[in-house]
Structure 1
Amino acid sequence: MKKKKFDPARITQGLMGKAKEYMGDSERMKDLLSSASIKVKDNDQLSGMIEDIGLALSLTRDFSRKTYRDISKGSIASIVAGIIYLVNPVDIIPDFLMTGFLDDAAVLGYILTRMRDELDKYKHWKDVNR
């Protein structure tokens, strides 16, 4: 039996349907973003990504509130897919293990790298509109 390779792109794509479900339900989205905020707070394994994750959570929150719309729904769905993966405690490496967030970091790193221009554009918008 051939062992499957860990593939953040495949994982993200597999969560797109669920991400779109969350995007259609403001209460579920609010709960997801709240859970993600709690999960990343003081998380040493994600420390190098905290700023970008926070920016992605803020972008998603503003998109949900319809205060920021200068991003495609597909791009938001990708970010939401990463957030879903982060919040799910039972993934490739369960979060309760000592290195349990390495897979979460890989999936989020893949998504955040792909969304770099979108995050930078949002950050500029946020700085201008404070």
Structure 2
Amino acid sequence: MKQNTIGNYFNKMKEKANAVLESSTQTGELVTKAEDKTSQSDKQGLRDLGAQVKALVRLVRSYKKGDYRDVSKKSMVLIVAGLLYFVSPIDAVPDFLLGAGLLDDATVLAFLFKTLSSEISAFQTWEETEEDTYIKPAP
């Protein structure tokens, strides 16, 4: 019998990630679910987790809109897989186990941030540059 580990569940999410990334509807649903769940993680005292997810959500949204494309397709698949893992209520440690259920999610996100740190940092720098160059209309 195959052991249920974080790696096994994450690999299942990677298999689904390509299809989700190709579908605007599925990507939109994923982004919405991830945003909803970040408010839950904030309530449980895992603000850093929520901040990480929000950065990934903004990256996926900008990628899908075509605003930001300076990230590899392979990295986007990993990011989408990470978000799929995050929103899935049933994974290596089910989310209904308060506290412990989000620790495996945090582990997956930490892996993503470590593995893709240069691409995520580049996106965040691009975001800051975009904010600085955006001129707000007069009231």
Interval containing the TM-score (normalised by the shorter chain): 0.7 to 0.9
Q: Per-residue displacement from partner, 1:6-55 (whole Å, max 9, x unpaired)?
A: 454x5433322200000110011001010000001141253223222211
Task: Please list every run of 5 or more consecutive structure 2 residues that lacks an aligned counterpart in the other structure.
Answer: 132-139
Task: Please list every run of 5 or more consecutive structure 1 residues that lacks an aligned counterpart in the other structure.
Answer: none
Identity of aligned residues (%): 30
Residues in 1 aligned to 2:46 and 2:17: alpha-carbon distance in whole angstroms: 22
Greater RCO (CA < 8 Å, at least 6 residues apart): 1
Farther-moved stretch of structure 1 (20-29 vs 99-108): 99-108
Could you tell me how far 1:5 is from its partner in structure 2?
A: 8.0
Correspondence for 2:127:
126
Structure 1 residues 118 and 70, CA gap change in structure 2 (3 angstroms): same
TM-score by length of 2: 0.83
What amino acid is the match of 1:54? K
Farther-moved stretch of structure 1 (105-114 vs 64-73): 105-114
In proportion to residue count, which structure has more helix?
2
Q: Which ranges of 4 or more aligned residues in structure 1 deviate by more than 3 Å?
A: 3-8, 10-14
Matches within 5 A, 1:1-130: 4=3, 6-8=5-7, 10-43=8-41, 44=44, 46-98=46-98, 99-130=100-131
> How many residue pairs end up in the alignment?
128
Pairwise CA RMSD of aligned residues? 1.9
Rg bigger for which structure? Answer: 2
What's the secondary structure of 2:101's corresponding residue? coil
1:45, 1:102 within 8 Å by CA — same for their partners in 2? Answer: no
